[in-house]
Amino acid sequence: MKFIPSVLGICAAAGLSLGVANAAQEPVKIGMITTLSGGGASLGIDIRDGFDLAVKMKNGMLGGVKTEVITIDDARKVGNAKQIATRMIKQDNVDIVTGIVWSNLAMAVVPSVTKAGKIYISTNAGPSALAGKACSPNYFNVAWQNDNLHEAMGKYATDKGVKKAYILAPNYPAGKDALVGFKRFFKGEVIGEVYTKLGQVDYAAEIANLRAAKPDAVYFFLPGGMGINFVKQYNQAGLSKTTPLYGPAFSFDEGILKAVGEAALGVYNSSQYSWDLDNAANKAFVEAFRAEYKRNPSLYASQGYDAAMLIDSAIAEVKGDLSNQDAFRAAIKAAKFDSVRGAFKFGSNNHPIQDIYVREVVKSDTGVTNKTIGKVFTDHADAFASQCKM
Amino acid sequence: MTTLLFLEQTLNGLQQGVMLFLMAAGLTLVFGIMHLLNLAHGSLYMVGAYVCATVTQASGSFLIGLACALGASAATGMVIEVLAMRRLYNREHLDQVLATFGIILFFNELVKILWGPQALFLNPPDFLNGTIEVLPDTPYPTYRLFIIATGLVVALGLRHLILNTRVGMLIRAGATHREMVGALGVNIDWLYTIVFGLGAMLAGLAGALAGPMLAIQVGMGENILILTFVVIIVGGVGSIRGALVGALLVGLVDTYVRAFLPMGLREVLEPASADSIGAAISGMGIYILMAVVLLFKPNGLFQAYGDN
């Protein structure tokens, strides 16, 4: 196991001891558990980079208080994540935990963090249990509930007049949630529903079956390398000319597009964020992100950045006094920050109520990228809020 | 209609089988002749894919990329053999597993340092990037046909090398009578290095060929490695012919089960449970095949040369 502690704030703050009154204050400690190595590392790296960028832009002081971020790699392993969380809670005594990418890791870690009285801010995973029955006043999700982007694509496919859809996802809980989410808003007929092996490499058999079924459109949720494999092979089979592909943003983030290239042109995907969204907060973010990392920010990077900005706003609201937990929780829930995605607020279950956009994959002067073409949902909440009692 | 789909799936199965054969041929040679269990075979596959993608982008030619990938993976294999594998020949299999697993970790980190964590981009060359109507109304990707053809050529070439050349004779002799071959003045160490390099080159070829179809990313070799072990166990350890037959069997069975089992179950069960049961069972198809083969032929379908 690799430990990559990056103690950011200290150096930055030492040089720039701005608030004299705050100099004696205890620093805020934030524990970031995320995936920085192995499969799916690019997601965790984006989240970390977005978060670190926000801390840097605030000169190492979130909400005017010296901030210490402890970042540790979970290598996408449940055991590692649990162990790191325990260490952060018991040994490092962090105030806030954040950063987890995967739902299965979140399910294993989040309940123990919130039970220990710490705040957890989710930068990605939003499993239905944590939005419904297992919700907690200490748990906030600044990204989305898992089903949201799939629901948007179901609605969009219906709006586009798709009558017969062929849908596929990996055979694991988040894959099943994805297709359930799509079907919740898709009014046409689902003529094929296929679950592939998690981590599957070759999709030739599925693609041949799919072609024979003659659907109007294909909806697929295959994050990371699986999506790269599928899109390349779908295009090579000549299907992209006849049958449009729909997917959530996870199947077409900036990293995937770089690897897939023009094979993905013309594909539609849903996202709560896109780097071309027109608002002041996003312009500042994209400019700073490009300058720092020489690439376009993905939705994951925006989620990391927003998480830090949310924490920043809440600490400022309570004037750096985290001892009153109720006040601090209320300050987080108020979400008085300018999200880079535009309008943002928390619902009753501490999950986002937000707009969801549809994007098309196009060729631009910076290469193949996403272009926002419309809004599918305005102020969209999740389907599980009513099950949350707190 | 259904016959056409069946034939198309057969092509898919053959293509998957051919890729597996390229991996299995090298692994089975090393395992059968040097008695070395090499888990790091997948790393050589990854090296092939990364070098091919990088050189293709720099030079603009896939064929140059392919050639460089072959050279690089063979060279990498030979360096590993001299530095590490040589010390493992007389050790237990468990030691070999541990050491070669370490080599996997080493290569994954090295590739990440050199190329970064993002997946690389590689498309088929233009003259192969299209579809051909091999069957009426069934466009099939040209690139996959190219892979099938390449694999069959390699299979024939290997057969010729092993059966009709001096090197092949030494490989066969070295497998069974190591000391005797050494006593006749052949440098066994170098022979092993060459065999290992050959296996590495085949793995690199498989990686480079897979590149345009798959995500070129860290750890890409680990997925295919498990299937490769199934192939050599089904085919018989150490036998090239076994590797070919085993690879084609595994490729076909895996494709057929994935393609037709969920469809068939939908006829008898309600769709929701048919989908989930189908998905669960189709993942097991090849392992059931392996169990059945081992039940009747505990040493695999073909015996290696040494045991004849």
CB B88 within 8 A of CB B37: no
Alpha carbons B258 and A196: distance in angstroms, whole number: 9
DSSP A376: E
- Identify the residue whose tokens are 């400690």: A29
pLDDT (tens digit, 9 = 90+) per residue, A48-73?
Answer: 999 999 999 999 999 999 999 999 99
Asked if residue B1 has pLDDT above 80, the reply is no
Alpha carbons A9 and A32: distance in angstroms, whole number: 14
**3-class DSSP state of A119:** strand
Return the structure tokens found at B46: 């990854």
**3-class DSSP state of B94:** helix
User: Which residues in chain B are contacts of A195 at CB distance < 8 A?
Assistant: 275-276, 278-279
CB B250 within 8 A of CB B89: no
Which candidate from B5, B112, B213 shows the least CB-CB separation from A232? Answer: B213
Q: Identify the residue with better confidence: B176 or A68.
A: A68
Q: Identical fold at A9-144+276-346 and A148-271+355-387?
A: yes
Handedness of CA B280, A133, A40, A176 (dihedral sign): positive
Q: Where are the alpha helices (DSSP H) in B165-284?
A: 166-176, 178-183, 188-210, 220-235, 240-268, 271-282
Helices B41-59 and B93-115: angle between axes, nearest 10 degrees: 20
**3-class DSSP state of B4:** helix
Alpha carbons B143 and B145: distance in angstroms, whole number: 5
Alpha carbons B76 and A262: distance in angstroms, whole number: 32
Structural domain boundaries of chain A?
A: 9-144+276-346, 148-271+355-387
pLDDT (tens digit, 9 = 90+) per residue, A247-290?
Answer: 999 989 888 888 888 889 989 999 999 999 999 999 999 999 99
Taking alpha carbons only, the member of B82, B70, B84 closest to residue B22 is B70
CB-based contact (8 Å) between A258 and chain B? Answer: yes
Asked if residue A94 has pLDDT above 80, the reply is yes
Structure pTM?
0.83
DSSP B216: B
Average pLDDT, chain B: 89
Asked if residue B161 has pLDDT above 60, the reply is yes
CB-based contact (8 Å) between A199 and chain B? Answer: yes
The alpha carbons of chain A give a radius of gyration, in whole angstroms, of: 21
ipTM: 0.85
Which candidate from B9, B143, B213 shows the least CB-CB separation from A208? Answer: B9
Amino acid at B187: N
In this complex, do A202 and B213 lie within 8 Å of one another by their Cβ atoms? yes
Which candidate from A42, A195, A202 shows the least CB-CB separation from B276? Answer: A195
Could you tell me which chain B residue has the CA closest to the CA of A36?
B117
Assign a CATH topology to domain A148-271+355-387: Rossmann fold (3.40.50)
Structural domain boundaries of chain B?
A: 15-127+139-307
Residue B28 CB coordination number (10 Å): 31
Could you tell me which chain A residue has the CA closest to the CA of B277?
A195
CB B142 within 8 A of CB B129: yes
Q: Which of residues 87-126 of B touch A (CB under 8 A)?
A: 108, 112, 117-121, 123-124
Query: What's the confidence (pLDDT) of residue B182?
Result: 84
User: Which residues in chain B are contacts of A202 at CB distance < 8 A?
Assistant: 16, 213-214
In this complex, do A237 and B258 lie within 8 Å of one another by their Cβ atoms? no
**3-class DSSP state of B92:** coil
Interchain CB contacts (distance < 8 Å): A and B: 117
**Percentage of residues in chain B having pLDDT higher than 90:** 54
Over residues A181-201, mean pLDDT:
91
Handedness of CA B67, B68, B71, B74 (dihedral sign): negative
DSSP B303: -
CB-based contact (8 Å) between A79 and chain B? Answer: no
> How close, in Å, is residue A208 to chain B by CA atoms?
7
CB A245 within 8 A of CB B231: no
CB-based contact (8 Å) between A192 and chain B? Answer: no
CB A80 within 8 A of CB A41: no
A164-170 and A139-141 strand pairing: unpaired
A217-220 and A164-170 strand pairing: parallel
Taking alpha carbons only, the member of A292, A285, A262 closest to residue A368 is A262
The CATH architecture to which A9-144+276-346 belongs is: 3-Layer(aba) Sandwich (3.40)
Alpha carbons B129 and B123: distance in angstroms, whole number: 8
Query: What's the confidence (pLDDT) of residue B305?
Result: 53
User: Which residues in chain B are contacts of A261 at CB distance < 8 A?
Assistant: 121, 123
Give A241's pLDDT tier (boundaries 50, 70, 90).
confident
Asked if residue B273 has pLDDT above 50, the reply is yes
Which candidate from A171, A225, A263 shows the least CB-CB separation from B217? Answer: A225
CB-based contact (8 Å) between A229 and chain B? Answer: yes
Asked if residue A157 has pLDDT above 50, the reply is yes
Q: Which of residues 230-259 of B touch A (CB under 8 A)?
A: 255, 258-259
Give A113's pLDDT tier (boundaries 50, 70, 90).
very high
User: Which residues in chain A are contacts of B263 at CB distance < 8 A?
Assistant: 209
